[in-house]
Structure 1
Amino acid sequence: MKTKHIIIVTGLSGAGKTTALNILEDMNYYTIDNLPLGLEKSLLDTEIEKLAVGIDIRTFKNTKDFFKFINYIKETGVKMDIIFLEAHEAIILGRYTLSRRAHPLKEVTLLRSILKEKKILFPIKEIADLIIDTTEIKNVELEKRIKKFILAKDKENIDVNINIHIQSFGYKYGIPTDSDLMFDVRFIPNPYYIEKLKELNGFDEEVKEYVLSQKESEEFYSKLLPLLEFLIPQYIKEGKKHLTISIGCSGGQHRSVTFVNKLAEDLKNSKVLKHINIYVSHREKELGHW
């Protein structure tokens, strides 16, 4: 068996599976879309070392077929990751309207098809290593997230217990729908109202020093880090493969950015947590809001 790494790309129809496969192809993965289940043995016996396979609702009759497929891969010892793509129903409706394509489930209405697919695929989402909500992100951001995830795992070169995505956001632009845990830091004094800090962001030392020196920040963070060091092993024990932690402030520029960067660094260096893969994103920066 020659295959060293296989990435399964799955998720809701219209959420960006084809785009994700194209990104992986540019990263030198051999890509196959809608591989018929049952061909996995012959596929893994090829000379292809890096393989990305697109699997969606058209490929399997029920989720049992999917789990049978991935269990076979696991038994061979091949390194495998599952990327699950999703988007808000309204966005998928809009994408289908523009493309004028039919949904594979062909329910009475398009919305019913989307909701039914979402329900069917939920057990697969629960075991995914990377979950990306494409509702608000452009293709270039999708590419960044996939590359960051794969490169981080390659760098670690170990079996990862859980993939943790930590993101900042601004409440004024809406909450991120892919959050597992969400923390609101708007109770901390806002650097935006300090004239010399207004145009800066959480990457700047002056902002970090201001935010982290607040009494509220010290008390909050002294509880946040131990809480996550307790929760993350519980999620791993439960079998959760992906965790999204979101921290929000008013505009997603100062306070949330500061805490996300600090939290990511401290979790990476935690003596309690082992074999975790952490990647960071700052939604409002990526969307051009600052």
Structure 2
Amino acid sequence: MKMDSLVIITGLSGSGKSLAGNCLEDLGFFCVDNLPISLIRPFCDMARRSTDPPRRSALVVDIREGAAIRKLPDTLQALRGMDIPLQVLFFECSDEVLKRRFSETRRPHPMAGHTATLEDAIVLERMEMAAIRDFADRIIDTDRFNAHQLKAYLSNAFGGAADSRSLNINVLSFGFKYGIPAEADLVLDVRFISNPYFVEGLRNMTGQDGPVQEFLLQQPETEAFASRLKDFLGFLVPLYTKEGKTYLTVAIGCTGGKHRSVYLAGELGRHLEGEGLAATINHRDLGRE
């Protein structure tokens, strides 16, 4: 019997992979943590031969495999040729966040035996995992996620019963001053729209508040841009779907990720949902100031 979905959870130590596995298990996935790479293909073969296989499975695979992790790209390439609806999630975050998390948990880094310092272990792991990162369908930067937010993010992405082969669109607002999201497929700069931050009474509001939205809609370019963006996605989505793409992250950025990008991300996400597409809306930097 055919599997409906196979999710490979991989990435950097301390970036939230185990939490992600637990979350998917809560969503009904059959999850295996630290499955040896040599057993991934036998696992898939067994599931396909079974009369009652786990319909949705998630496997956590990472640097704990040691040198064998270098075989993962070849394994992923083989899985893509087996008619298995595969999704590869790569979790990462900044060095500063990783160092803080390891300091808080007091757990040794898996590469600690190969380096003199935690900083060196993190650098070494990034080098070892670089080739795997290139295979990812979605790169998830957990710098701005706490445990609750990460669970909510994954629940939005995997909680539904949508066909895993359909295109899942993540509309993401962000602030350029905090960096461009690593997972972005399309990056749109809306800083050409006048900034509500400099309008008295609007600075402490967000793009989700009515007065800010009214201010933005008073500018003709706001609605003109939104209309063209909707048409642009209407053109792209069928083409991406035809090519088998399963994830599309549309990142809309303004200066601080608080006003303009928040409004337009919400507007685009609601439009896509109204078109019957699997769309989620996330505001990466809202509340950061």
| TM-score (normalised: structure 1) | 0.77
Aligned length: 280
**Pairs within 5 Å for 1:18-97:** 18-40=18-40, 41-42=42-43, 44=47, 45=50, 47-59=53-65, 61=67, 65-97=71-103
Q: Which runs of 5+ in 2 are unaligned?
A: none
SS of alignment partner, residue 159 of structure 2: helix
> Contact between 2:174 and 2:180, CA under 8 Å: does it hold in 1?
yes
> Following the alignment from structure 1 to structure 2, what is the Cα–Cα distance between the partners of residues 122 and 236?
27
Deviations 1:144-201 (A, max 9, x none): 111111135x33x2513x54432113456x2254253444433422334555655543
> Following the alignment from structure 2 to structure 1, what is the Cα–Cα distance between the partners of residues 258 and 225?
19
Q: Does 1:178 align with 2:185?
A: no
> Following the alignment from structure 1 to structure 2, what is the Cα–Cα distance between the partners of residues 76 and 244?
26
> Following the alignment from structure 1 to structure 2, what is the Cα–Cα distance between the partners of residues 5 and 237?
18
> Following the alignment from structure 2 to structure 1, what is the Cα–Cα distance between the partners of residues 102 and 245?
31
**Pairs within 5 Å for 1:48-197:** 48-59=54-65, 61=67, 65-98=71-104, 99-104=106-111, 106-151=114-159, 154-155=161-162, 157=163, 159-160=165-166, 163-171=168-176, 174-178=178-182, 180=184, 181-195=186-200, 197=202
Identity %: 33
> Following the alignment from structure 1 to structure 2, what is the Cα–Cα distance between the partners of residues 169 and 37?
36
Q: Cα gap change, 1:97/1:3 in structure 2, threshold over 3 Å: closer, same or farther? A: same
Give the AA of the match of 2:15: A
Give the AA of the match of 1:135: D
> Contact between 1:34 and 1:58, CA under 8 Å: does it hold in 2?
yes
> Contact between 2:11 and 2:62, CA under 8 Å: does it hold in 1?
yes
Q: Cα gap change, 1:104/1:128 in structure 2, threshold over 3 Å: closer, same or farther? A: same
Bigger mean CA offset, 140-149 vs 91-100: 91-100
Aligned match of 2:284? 283
Deviations 1:11-41 (A, max 9, x none): 1111111111111122222221110123232
SS of alignment partner, residue 65 of structure 2: coil
> Contact between 1:128 and 1:241, CA under 8 Å: does it hold in 2?
no
Post-superposition shift, 1:261?
1.7
Deviations 1:107-146 (A, max 9, x none): 3443333223223323332332332111121011110111
> Following the alignment from structure 1 to structure 2, what is the Cα–Cα distance between the partners of residues 229 and 127?
26
Alpha-carbon RMSD across the aligned residues, in angstroms, is 3.6
Give the AA of the match of 1:14: G
> Contact between 1:191 and 1:197, CA under 8 Å: does it hold in 2?
yes
> Following the alignment from structure 1 to structure 2, what is the Cα–Cα distance between the partners of residues 4 and 212?
43
> Contact between 1:10 and 1:55, CA under 8 Å: does it hold in 2?
yes
